[in-house]
Structure 1
Amino acid sequence: MIDYKSSGVNIEEGYRAVELMKEHTKKTMIPGVINGIGSFAGMFELPDLKNPVLVSGT
């Protein structure tokens, strides 16, 4: 079985990249955003509906 490291993925560098991006992505936060960078999907409240959450991923 191949692990991340032997396939060329450095998980620690990925975490570091997320930390470096956080400051820049704060500028894009608008009302309705539920979570910030680092999650597997973006979540956004839709306040005109009863308990809605729009979830988007790539």
Structure 2
Amino acid sequence: MGFLEEAEKIAGAVVAVEGVKKLDPNASILTEGAAAVAGYKGAEAIEEHLEKKDENNQ
């Protein structure tokens, strides 16, 4: 796993937390943490899906 792949996952976590803050400015730290985990794992799942799709097309 390279630096860029990890940076994409972290960006997913940041975007998810910012989205929660926009929806609920008074969100608790637990809500923000859950959003960060979901964003990280979501970006990871998308990356894996795209890798499998590339492997199937080749």
TM-score under structure 1 length normalisation: 0.29
Which structure carries more strand by proportion? Answer: 1
Which structure carries more helix by proportion? Answer: 2
